[in-house]
Amino acid sequence: MKLHYIAAATISLIFNLSIQAQKYNDSTNVSSSQPSQTTSILQNNPTETDSISSVEEEDTDSIIPPFTTDSCLNWKENITTRLNNILKSPLLETTQASVMVWDLTDDVPIFQFRERLHLRPASTMKCLTAIATLDKLGTDYNFKTSVYYTGEIDDSTQVLRGDLYCVGGMDPMFSSSNMTELAHAVRNLGVKSIEGNIYADPSFKDRDRLGEGWCWDDKNPTLSPLLVDGKDNFIYRFTRKLEELGILMNGSTDERQTPANARLIATQTHSIQQVLHRMMKASDNLYAESMFYQLAASGGTRWASAKLARLYEKALLSRIGINPHHYYIADGSGLSLYNYVSAELETKLLRYAYQHSDLYEAYLKAQPIAGVDGTLKSRMRHTAAAGNVRAKTGTLKGVSSLAGYLTASNGHLLCFAIINNGGLTHGPMRSLQNKICVALCQ
């Protein structure tokens, strides 16, 4: 009887453990080096894995066995043998995979496996968004939120007989403290009363509030050009802050584009590198879409659309030797189920970034590091890839991807992309990606 109970308990334990092993989270343990301005919004912005379990992925990386080296083969031949053996996995009997590895030191491709297969990339789509935007706008670009006024200020009565205009630049880092700074700037003009209206100017981007192909049941970010702490309640918060400072308002609030004769009161900014840091380390979808629309608006167009951002990205793809008509770009974050790219496309993008030193430096600093931080903190620990692989992860239902850089065991710098589609759980797909990275590093 005791043996019967012991056996039953053992089976129950194994069953429970197997369930837990199915639960994954690609967006945990963000680096502690986040800029202080983002503290208040870390809990509000949806990341790439909000639709899956928040249970951290278990560390199974330490059980990856060491790879053997055949002394009769050169380095590339050994790597090719290793990767070919990994890709004989039964996983690929029921799922799709696209893999490409490029030697940046020698500037040659060293491994390809169905590298042109059209697959959904999930959040490795952020690689395209980041590289295209850095390439177009530069590494010194700033996200801006400004307040303007029209009319005149009566110094004797401290009354503004005119209107205030809040101009949004879709800054995902704009916080309560930034709001306070703007309100104080109004007060410092000597204004104690406003005989006019307060307008939101949302003309930075179009009025679409969802991306193309986003699922209705995901926790999608709101695509508003006027954000505070990641939420679309800017004008309400701004008027309340003015009231707290003792500024009386005798008008209403509405939306209107800022007239040409309006005068600037103050601007709050965050650098593109600050935004890029969280966008990549934490895989923040709002930050990625904000980046996408900076690209769309880069030509000075008002009411900029996702279509414009796609045109800039397609132009970049053409420059790196990729036919943009062979792929589809839907959004900037990878949330859309309509995105279709390939491992070849992502690898050539990473190669392009490497060839432009300023772009590469900014991009590389923002990448999650295997076993260290960001969405790779719990992966590849206790392996040769830990602290070495710097790569962007991607996770959606049925999709897992990884694209980035590493230093190979022969000392060469490599870039790579691995996209898996069709898995019912993410663990096996991630395990395959981990093995490929370890095989290249060991």
Hey, what's the torsion of the CAs at 33, 37, 41, 42, to 10 degrees? 0
Average pLDDT over the chain reads 88
Query: For residue 3, is pLDDT > 70?
Result: no
Secondary structure of residue 138 in the 3-state scheme: coil
Report the 3 state secondary structure along 165-188: EEECCCCCCCCHHHHHHHHHHHHC
- Mean pLDDT over 347-359 rounds to 98
Please report which residue ranges of 87-219 form alpha helices under DSSP H.
Answer: 125-137, 176-187
Query: For residue 7, is pLDDT > 60?
Result: no
Q: In 10 A of CB 114, how many CB atoms?
A: 17
Q: What is the pLDDT of residue 217?
A: 85
Q: What is the pLDDT of residue 57?
A: 43
Instruction: Kindly state the tokens that stand for 400.
Output: 């897992």
In angstroms, the CA 20 to CA 18 distance is 5
Tens digit of each residue's pLDDT (9 = 90 or more) over 269-292: 999 999 999 999 999 999 999 999
Banded model confidence at residue 9, pLDDT cuts 50, 70, 90: very low
User: For residue 236, which amino acid is it?
Assistant: Y
Q: What is the pLDDT of residue 44?
A: 43
Tens digit of each residue's pLDDT (9 = 90 or more) over 21-77: 333 334 433 333 333 333 333 334 445 443 333 333 444 455 788 888 888 999 999
Instruction: Report whether 220 contacts 184 (CB < 8 A).
Output: no
Query: For residue 197, is pLDDT > 60?
Result: yes
Instruction: Report whether 86 contacts 435 (CB < 8 A).
Output: yes
Instruction: Kindly state the tokens that stand for 158.
Output: 């401290």
Q: What is the pLDDT of residue 216?
A: 86
Instruction: Report whether 393 contacts 375 (CB < 8 A).
Output: yes
| 291 phi/psi in degrees, rounded to 5 | -65, -45
Q: What is the pLDDT of residue 353?
A: 98
- Mean pLDDT over 333-344 rounds to 97
Q: What is the pLDDT of residue 61?
A: 53
Percent of residues, the chain, with pLDDT higher than 70: 86
Q: What is the pLDDT of residue 127?
A: 98
Query: For residue 232, is pLDDT > 60?
Result: yes
Q: What is the pLDDT of residue 64?
A: 84
Tens digit of each residue's pLDDT (9 = 90 or more) over 366-399: 999 999 999 999 999 999 999 999 999 999 999 9
Tens digit of each residue's pLDDT (9 = 90 or more) over 147-188: 999 999 999 999 999 999 999 999 999 999 999 999 999 999
Strand (E) positions, 57-130?
96-103, 108-113
Tens digit of each residue's pLDDT (9 = 90 or more) over 396-433: 999 999 999 999 999 999 999 999 999 999 999 999 99
Nearest CA-CA partner of 392 in 340, 337, 433, 361: 433
Instruction: Report whether 295 contacts 128 (CB < 8 A).
Output: no
